[in-house]
Amino acid sequence: MAEEVYDYNVKCKTCRTTFTVQLFDSHEKNLFVVDKKDWFCDQCKKDYFKAETDKRLNEQKSIGFSELTGTDKSVSWGTKIREELINKVNYLKQSLSFDLDEEKELSDKAFEAFFSEWHQQTTAKWWIDNRRMNVRDISNRVAEIKKEIQP
Ligand SMILES: [Zn+2]
């Protein structure tokens, strides 16, 4: 069965520029998609991702992290991963409960030291390489630090 390719003119939702897209379904379906979907031109897409990255970066800066180094694409991805990993740490931290104030204090210190280690990681590559780190990995490292700093 021969597949037909159609070019369609769509309008960018942000800047209202008209641009062409290729769609591969039946003409009828394509017209529906052209009409219903929100389209964004390449430049607006790029601007959108940059704005998202800047927003994440500002949040991360407010808790001691710095800008990542790397290509635009890897910085954008690395910053997103970093946000997800920070969320995992905070999730872990909030899930803990302590009987004694001293225990909580030690735990807080360990988390602080843990974040200090992460503050040193400023290449996008490191975050991308470590993107599969899970709550258990984080918990293990925090436990190690706890042992190291225990009085
Ligand atoms: Zn646009």
Please provide the DSSP assignment of 26-57 as one string.
-HHHHHHHHHHS----HHHHHHHHHHHHHHHH
Distance from C-alpha of 6 to C-alpha of 29, rounded to nearest angstrom? 11
- Model confidence, pTM: 0.80
Distance in Å, CA 61 to ligand 1 centroid: 29
| C-alpha 129 to ligand 1 mean position (Å) | 33
Q: What is the largest CA-CA distance in the chain?
A: 74
Beta strands in the chain (DSSP E): 6-11, 18-23
CA of 141 to the centre of ligand 1 (A): 45
Q: What is the pLDDT of residues 46-81, one digit of tens each?
A: 999 999 999 999 999 999 999 999 999 999 999 999
Q: 133 CA to middle of ligand 1, Å?
A: 36
Q: How far is the CA of 10 from the centre of ligand 1 (A)?
A: 11
Q: What pLDDT score does 109 carry?
A: 96
pLDDT of residue 150: 85
Q: 103 C-alpha vs ligand 1 centroid, how far in Å?
A: 54
Q: How far is the CA of 47 from the centre of ligand 1 (A)?
A: 9
- Residues in the chain with pLDDT values less than 50: none
Q: What is the model's pLDDT at position 2?
A: 56
Closest by CA to 69, choosing from 55, 79, 54, is 79
